[in-house]
Amino acid sequence: MHPAYIKRAETFAAEIGIQCPILLGPMAGACPVSLSVAVANGGGMGACGALLMPPQAIKQWAADFRAQTEGPFQLNLWIPDSAPDRNPDHETELRTFLKGWGPEVSVNAADDTPPDFHAQCEALLDIAPPVISSIMGVFDAPFVARMKNKGIKWFANVSTVAEAVAVESAGADVIVAKGFEAGGHSGAFKPEDAMRYGVGSLALIPAIANTVSLPIVAAGGIADGRTAAAALMLGASAVQIGTGYLRATESTIAGAWSEAISTARPEDTIVTQAFSGRAGRSIATGYALAMERGDSPQPAPYPIQRGLTQAMRAAAAKDNKIDGIQAWAGQSAGMAQAISATQITRDIWQAVQDI
Ligand SMILES: Cc1cc2nc3c(=O)[nH]c(=O)nc-3n(C[C@H](O)[C@H](O)[C@H](O)COP(=O)(O)O)c2cc1C
């Protein structure tokens, strides 16, 4: 590997205050402080996916992280879509279907909405982390100005070149280029695009590098030295890893989910709207596959579907039954190591340097 790629990555890492150019992916519902601290101890950057957390919980997360390490971290929010139309008959059909996969779904289940976005944004500014990241859209101009005033860098997730151009003109500092291989929700700005474009990292990273001038963090399918080195050669200055950390000692996901990741081949994950209504890549579980059958109901839009599946997902996680777990996983899942996230971080960076 040409030393220029290593130099670009080391320079970027120094600029954002980390020893090696590896970021933990923010993972809503799967980002305990312990995992971030372990990544920071390995020289990488910690992350909190704050989507589901009320302001006080986000503040507590940041305080707990800061009490254990001086390393930097990113706080991440989804940019909300407009509220979807409700269809009571369709919701009834889904509730009936879901009864076959978990507990009875209450009539109010679909009313459940994520915490207030604007209150979360205010909490983020109060916390003033080194990095705030967005996915599924752009922050509005006044919020971007307030972030910049506080010296906070904005890392913006994109999954197409057009989205990269949009975040550059909205004032992003860094582009997180999220390839189709990635675990978790698609970052597509428009929900309807999420199932249409499947741009893989091999095409996405160089296409963005050829078009915009911001530094690129590559995400999706990266879980070892080879995949990280490839991303750096394609134009990235750093890599972001989600699934590759989910089996780490400091992760807290259900055992059945971790086990499914350990044996997953790339084709054992699918992109599905079955869990939340927004497309995301998960293990092809019994429930996710059943929702794909022609005679199954279509998923409702986000966040209605998310509310409807909540009881099934919670029960399955508690009972450690993979079929109903929202088992997000990327195509490189099989590379995830069940060792400390500190070691994972160090091993990947060492392997990159050895190439
Ligand atoms: C369980 C899980 C939850 C995730 N939640 C979020 C999230 O809330 N916000 C976000 O920007 N990305 C989220 N992601 C994406 C990761 O931050 C990261 O970009 C992605 O996992 C990289 O691809 P990989 O899984 O192939 O490593 C999530 C990924 C997983 C696996």
**Band of the pLDDT at 279, cuts 50, 70, 90?**
very high
Q: Give pLDDT tens digits for 178-224.
A: 999 999 999 999 998 888 889 999 999 999 999 999 999 999 999 99
Assess whether the C-beta atom of 244 lies below 6 angstroms from ligand 1. Answer: yes
Q: Across all residues in the chain, what is the average pLDDT?
A: 97
Q: Which of 142, 5, 124 is nearest to 54 (CA)?
A: 124
Partners of 241 in the β-ladder = 24
DSSP state of 78: E
Tokens representing residue 286 in the block? 């019994």
- Would you list the domain boundaries of the chain? 3-354
For ligand 1, the distance from its centroid to the CA atom of residue 184, given in whole angstroms, is: 5
Give residue 89 CA to ligand 1 midpoint distance, Å: 33
Tokens of 242: 């989600």
- Looking at domain 3-354, its CATH class is alpha beta
Q: For residue 182, how far is its CA from the centre of ligand 1 (angstroms)?
A: 7
| Ligand 1: residue whose CA is nearest its atom 10 | 26
Residue-level pLDDT at 113: 85
Mean pLDDT computed over 329-355: 98
> What's the pLDDT tens digit per position in 299-316?
999 999 999 999 999 999
**What angle in degrees, to the nearest 10, is found between the helix axes of 117-127 and 141-149?**
20
Q: How much distance in Å is there from the Cα of 166 to the middle of ligand 1?
A: 21
CA-CA distance, 243 to 178, in Å (whole number)?
13
For residue 344 and ligand 1, the question of a CB distance below 6 A is answered with no
Reading the block at residue 290, the tokens are 């059943």
> Given the CA of residue 329, which atom of ligand 1 is nearest to it?
31
**pLDDT, tens only, 23-79:** 999 999 999 999 999 999 999 999 999 999 999 999 999 999 999 999 999 999 999
Give the atom of ligand 1 at the shortest distance from the alpha carbon of 223.
27
**66 CA distance to ligand 1 middle (Å):** 22
pLDDT in tens, 167-188: 999 999 999 999 999 999 999 9
Instruction: Please count the residues of the chain.
Output: 355
241 lines ligand 1 (CB under 6 A): yes
Q: What percent of the chain has pLDDT over 90?
A: 97
Cα(302)–Cα(172) distance, rounded to whole angstroms?
26
Backbone angle region of 151, left / alpha / beta, with phi > 0 → left and psi within -120 to 50 → alpha:
left
